[in-house]
Amino acid sequence: KSLNEIQSDLDKLSKNLGAELEFYQSNTEGSIVDFIQSNSSKAHGLIINPGALTHYGLSLADALMDLQIPIVEVHLSNIFTREPFRHHSYVSPVAKGVICGFGSNSYVLALNAIKKLISKEGDF
């Protein structure tokens, strides 16, 4: 699925969950860090697919460490079935959970998880 299709699916799900989403995508680490820092005070949770920044994004990891909201790390593919260097994540230690390997459905799973974390439902 395209990013626009994933966003459309999540918009529909968020309405059913009573959640409001804001999407942001950039290929520049500094832009992502700036967005997180500028918007974290109004956010209740964060779903992030850090892409290659998973393995190299130290400033992203630092920005995430400062957040006081639940973070769910998402990957479309199972990073553990890929090259060994992809098995390490700088994001995972600050995330409440990691969802990978379910394609675009990884985002659906992450949104449901964030909603439960925010509302204190469930046992995680």
- Token representation of residue 108: 């659906």
What percent of the chain has pLDDT above 70? 97
pLDDT category at 120 given cuts 50, 70, 90 is confident
| pLDDT tens digits, 66-109 | 999 999 999 999 999 898 888 899 999 999 999 999 999 999 99
Distances (CA, A) of 27 to 30, 35, 55, 70: 9, 12, 14, 23
- Token representation of residue 71: 């973070």
79 within 8 A of 58, measured Cβ to Cβ: no
Answering whether pTM is above 0.95, one says: no
pLDDT at 121 over 70: no
Residue 123 is predicted with a pLDDT of 59
pLDDT at 124 over 90: no
